[in-house]
Structure 1
Amino acid sequence: MVPIKPEQIEQVNALVRSACANCQDGCCLLLDDGDSYPCVQLLSISGIYCNYFYYSVLPTDKMLYRSVIQNINYKERKTL
């Protein structure tokens, strides 16, 4: 989990809805096994739990990406 600040939640959710190829109508296509499952990232209020979002979508918003990366301490960065 990559921590996010409360003021980043709206920006992260907006980016999920607008740019994530796996988020359709608030549901995650990667988790779909015949049943729809809500997007984990849209439910989160404390961190980034979706690796696809973190590695593929978040970097497209450079300012938000930088501000999220600043929340991570050096030891955590090495394990991501």
Structure 2
Amino acid sequence: MTKPKRKKHNNTQSDVSDVSGVLESELLIRIEALEEKVEECARQNTQRILDELERVRGQVHSLNLENETLRKELKELREERAILVEE
């Protein structure tokens, strides 16, 4: 009993080119998908940064108003003290 002969694969230049073309197409598709994902992440991160910046600006504005109020109160207290010292 003889063993069945294996079919030999003759990888021709055409076959190699076909496989290479398929792999290149798959890689391009994956690259495009990753580029889209990177762009989406960049958009989301930019929006998060802008939101955080707006929040911090609000805090700074609030602190500036509070600081202004405290300066006015301090000025009034100093004026009152000056009046008391004169008396």
TM bracket, shorter-chain basis: under 0.3
Give me the TM-score of the superposition, normalised by structure 2.
Answer: 0.18
Which has more helix, going by share of residues?
A: 2
The structure having more radius of gyration, on CA atoms, is 2
